[in-house]
Structure 1
């Protein structure tokens, strides 16, 4: 059993969070545009995937990075493709078909990082058996562009933000609308401050609660974005850097999907799954993710915990006390497969490159890549 250190405490261990009444929500599975892979040439250059190796893509998305790695390795690559969004399955299957003549072995997997041990147990994957692991963190372009997903403030869409909207997870994962319409101002402020690093978190939380009391529930992304804009000083929006609601939307997305706890789990698993000399490439898009990646590469993963990086912040929030979700994050039970029931030990990493940022030309062609940082390390 792998012990996972949790983030913060919003409520006491056994105290109920709030009643989740997750509404039925339909969305289109047709993406308007595919995700443009970030710094894919740099990943190929520094990891040099070869035929006969084992490759694990832990954030498959629409398969942009995976496709380039398959083409570069040319043949005989064993691939495991993981994504928590079930809509990624169609792209995994398309990639299988596209590379069917190359003798690549491709296995699609749908689940979170915390589901990975159970998923890999089915294929008898042992520790220290994988040559290359890739993690491209955050939300994808198709998820942002699909209005019904509720990730983007430029649409007037239902305030959802779940990476997986399928029926099986709805009871365990609240929507962003449920968060903003249920929590009090103090707790909302902590979420915005910790996960969005939003300096105006108190103002924003107060106006949300006032709106709920005076007008009614906040149901759409535009409603929330307009509320945030109404209390942010005008000079910030005029700077042209980011939309005033960007940090609030980031914080809610991280909270709803438990992204930082999942990242802790994913990094610990990557540490154990990689063989000696194997590569771990991680693309992060904000400082909270990047700090965790730096910690793994610089120190060890046995004590990997988000609280190390947020020790100067409030210790009164925990993402995992949402219904039964805490069962996944606190104990990743991997049944009886001893290969996954070991205690993490210190592993030294050899830095390969990082942090790399996209070139000016890449940012011009793909503006969403501007905040990306790529770190690659090799397991000693």
Structure 2
């Protein structure tokens, strides 16, 4: 029988964390209804879980699609899945993607999802499609898990969440979109790279939102020549600042061919569709070169089916890949890209409007208007005022 000094102290499976002042969450209850403010006085922290004070969140296009009724969502829920924050409580043994321990005080970004890491899909390297997937900003709030999204002062991270420590140097406006748009852009280029080498490729990007602009900068850093198409003149101006060699209005049928000719290339080896517009998807399939790859990223809401010419795809040796969200390695790589290259392009300017948490409905309206690439939601004022 071991001596009492050698008997390990049991680690509790859960721990009550009292929040004083209480956390604040903005809860969405349905289309056409304003958000409701909910106070959360505490959380029950389970094994593998983390509590984070949110520094800044940004509004993704899918948040807008949800509140406008274009995507189904279980209510009530806390929207928001792009964020940066600081760890305030953490269960024993939680580790970041790089294997380092996660500690109180760490500044982090975390993945859009929590996965079991053990089902067949997780074992195949598809944790974003886990059989038991939980997605921040997409789940109905429930007892003991109310802080489920980014439009709150705190987030309660479940076990199986990919966590990346981000240090103190980069601004929150640069880091918050990493949890969705930036990591998805990295994942899209990585999947393209498995078919056609991004280095020195001629790349067409359809859509000048955050994913399109970020992918443009990433591809340019790899040595690619990028043509970006967007109907918004302000987005085309931004695209040039993010490394696009040519920018075009996709509504001009002759502009794309002229832009390709201006690059000196015969064809597009990689086409990344980041808008979700059916016409843009059709264009992607039409213009990709022989042996090229089309990566579809933007089609995350229902649209009418498109006609496809299978002979064109077969004879052209075309690969079509769909990218939805990302794996932990993509989030880690996206943050490393920002650390090394955020200063090369005006990433801070992509977040051009900021609203306090209490004005979340106004923030969503501003995001829907489309003038800003990203609208920020700052929860810190809500915490100070309570």
Structure number with greater Rg is 2
TM-score under structure 2 length normalisation: 0.29
Highest RCO, 1 vs 2 (Cα 8 Å, sep ≥ 6): 1
TM-score of the pair, normalised by structure 1: 0.29
More helix by share: 1
More strand by share: 2
